[in-house]
Structure 1
């Protein structure tokens, strides 16, 4: 794709501070680094978890931030070392990822990955500790649950992506079909 390896601009719903209305902003999305993929989000949904953390109830808030963790989309580009996904693949970002190598991922009894375990305070990528989003003159915008699907494009660790059949409808709650 023409945008692979390049910073792209898109719209995202940015939470600048707790409890304040989300703001539709133009953000820059960096290309994926090693073991990361950049996704084009086609459909996303609001979950109570997003609202809870946007309101900053009972936790240390991390702002500005792009929320969202339930979505469907396609792979736009892949970073170094990603072999299981290709541009154009239909995918679902998942906030409970699996590295495939740790003791939990190799266990038949647990999927609580040591590397990709849910961490609501982590607002950056695991590989280098940096965010892939910037807005308003280069200000970092933080990730949420490793997915940040309230953006037209997002970058996630490859272990937080489930490839699905291309005929599967991305705009449906499959649990209700």
Structure 2
């Protein structure tokens, strides 16, 4: 189930959304906890940016890895994770630098709305694509993200509490 924003400022609608399996370097997550951030509200209301709808918002969350795509070696099903909207590819000049972590590939992009590998959404309703939000889209039960946008955490960390700082920290 997903909370879908069909239009700017209109109520979110709980929908049954199809989620594609993870592609190469992607991870499918089961979201156990998510929270609402003012950033989500601003983009939902389409204040000061180009609106992109329909869309699934959300970027503060905690969950577990359900499955991994080809090439993902650092995560396995069951790992506790936090999705993050400013990821790290670990290959570009910024990721290798000691002075910056603003990845050339996975830095925050509010206009993308699709996955990097194939330029398509992993979400759809009856074949109609639903746009992603900042590479995370956590207002749903399952999401697919690039592996570089996932932080593995200690399984003893309380996901209901550590999900909130994923925006500001």
TM range (shorter): over 0.9
Cα deviations across residues 16-42 of structure 1 (Å, max 9, x unaligned)?
010000000000000000000000000
Equivalent-residue separation in structure 2 for 1:129 and 1:174 (angstroms)? 28
1:107–1:131: structure 2 CA closer, same or farther, 3 Å change rule?
same
SS of corresponding position for 2:31:
strand
Q: Is residue 44 from structure 1 mapped to residue 30 from structure 2 by the alignment?
A: no
* CA-CA distance at 1:138 after TM superposition: 1.4
Structure 2: gaps (5+ residues) = none
- Correspondence 1:51-70 to 2 at 5 A: 51-70=41-60
Equivalent-residue separation in structure 1 for 2:23 and 2:114 (angstroms)? 12
Extract structure 1 runs of 4+ deviating beyond 3 A: 173-176
- How many residue pairs end up in the alignment? 165
Q: 2:80 aligns with which of 90, 110, 113?
A: 90
- Residues 62, 163 of structure 2: 8 Å contact kept: no
The two structures, once aligned, show a CA RMSD in angstroms of 1.2
Cα deviations across residues 52-74 of structure 1 (Å, max 9, x unaligned)?
00000111111000000000000
Question: Scaled by the length of structure 1, what TM-score is found?
Answer: 0.91
Structure 1: gaps (5+ residues) = 1-10
